[in-house]
Structure 1
Amino acid sequence: MTIESFSIEYDAINSRNTFTNGDTISGRIILQVSMETKIQSLIFVGKGKARVVWHEYYGQHQHRVYWANEKYYDVKQPILRETSQDGTAVLSKGRHVFPFSFKIPDRKMPSTFKHSTGRIVHKLRAELKQSMKLTKKTKAHFTFVSKNDMEYPGLMEPQYGCKDKSLSFFGSGTITMDVHTKRMGYKQGGSVKATVEIVNNSSRDVKPKFILYEKQSFFAQGHRKLYTTEILKEKSEAVAPAEKKVLTKVIPIPRELPPSILNCSIIKLEYRLKVYLDIKCASDPHIKLPIIILSHFSEAQMQSLSTNTAFEDFPNPSTQAWNNMPQPLDPPPSYSYAMASSSTYPDKHSSLM
């Protein structure tokens, strides 16, 4: 065996070892040969793509496979050109290092994501071709984090929802709940400040509770596969009958949560804040507001937001009155924490969806 080892590696450009749109990745392809060897070609490939696949079973012997692919870039660069008359290059015995430099396309595309049903992959690959032999391939994945889309509709606008509940069994009267948040977009490790106004004109105590959860959606051939996962729960003090209260709850966003993925047509990673009233022996009224988790800000993005004001207090010039804003709707279809999520909730959690 003349090819003893064949590998590709790259250099980190930051402490997180992540890359974003327009970054340049430098590295090397390493080839170890045991004797003088002829090579037809050595090619570098940079590739970004998404793939979704799942099985649905309709009986003991019947099932259907749903799948979809999406490609973002596929860049090839020749590394080793022929140097002899027969169209081959000759490598001497020993270790050979071939440097490469690859610029990630500066266009909108989704971040690295991995799940049992679908994944978004950004990788570097080398292909080695020899006469009368199978092509040898080696690869290395890198973590791509998409630049924040600060022009996403409603990103910096207040979010609002309201709900009325009438009690008829095991109680009487009505309950009204209004929920406000300052915006839709939040940075990793930040916090969501939710203001809840409750007017309890009923005969029962009600207790507001909060759930931050994620939605992972996969689309293929006109079908959707959905997973929901609770991230954290919080609760607040009870509101007694014939009482009106305005409560404020600060919901921390775990720093390890991956940013939202909203720019892929076959995979979406979304977050919601669900606020509901726990009422014994009655269905719980709830409100769900969208949350967009943004990735780490670049220096330029921080300057564009504000040089003197923290992101959590960044003002929105087009703020509308809360009372005039409709209930937000789900947007249409288009490694850490999210990687571990691979199972649906039982039916009792279906209201998260």
Structure 2
Amino acid sequence: MDAKRFSHAHALLHWYDQHRRTLPWRSAPGETPDPYRVWLSEVMLQQTTVAAVTPRFAAWVARWPSFADLARAEDADVMAAWAGLGYYARARNLVACAKVVMAEHGGAFPRTEATLRTLPGLGAYTAAAVAAIAFGERAVVVDANVERVVARLVAISVPLPAARKAIRAAADTITPDVRAGDFAQAMMDLGSSLCTVRAPKCLLCPLREGCEGFAGGAPETLPVKAKKAAKPQRFGTIFWLQRGDDVLLVTRPDTGLLGGMRALPTGVWGDAPPGLADAPAQADWRLLDATVAHGFTHFDLQLGLAIATIDAHHPRIDGQWWPVADLHNAGLPTVFAKAASKIRSLS
């Protein structure tokens, strides 16, 4: 590492020692990090804010405090506990990974980035983060915050995502051989607190003196983001079928969007409103004069809302009858929880 890059790492670690965030998954200075908690937090924090993750992390580790506990967990319980965090494949991969750790690694996470990459759900970022933070291995950790800091530090003006190769190479040059985990967390904290997307607080930044983006006068313009393409619009109908004080829930197929989750019945999501097509049972269905909108990564969804009631003598229907008063404990994904709330407010 040359003198300039060394000074970046030294200045950042000095700042981190004074300003590090206190987070429930982060070990205190001098404490040995818990690999399970590091891994769990990194998976939870993908595409999810610290504020949203903090209470969910606490509830999770209280219920499943170790790899062994999670490996024994029921899939339905795990998916319900994950409800609302989105990107549900992450929850399935957590269980799969815990089982592999128990079966093939004696209940302990492997230490190296390369071996971590072989575990279910651990891509390049997560493997690097666990190797660095949990085990102190030198690894180049680049999340969205680090990406922004590095793009400004060395003034990379190539638009994303094409810039990512250059950003990672630049991050590699400033990553120290010692305290790699603290360095990675320091970069994340810097991006979260000072080197923010809008109005970065450059006058407080420990890297200001060597920052090419600051020297250029417009660090907030970096990294350059390619214009997003408009997301396609899809339509569907959610069916609320009530029997007495219970509502019908189904379990979505294991593969596909929201796989394995409890949900209200819904038909195919397509290019036009489907009306009452694919209703879960013969009943006197009524479409409400209301819809629910929800955005997924690759498309926007607008859902019509249909309601009906049946009595106890109705022919058997596949699914699970769930008490309406206890629906908040069903672990419904956000889109279905929104629909349930809307239906109950209008019924």
| TM-score where L is the length of structure 2 | 0.19
| TM-score where L is the length of structure 1 | 0.19
Which of the two has greater helix per residue? 2
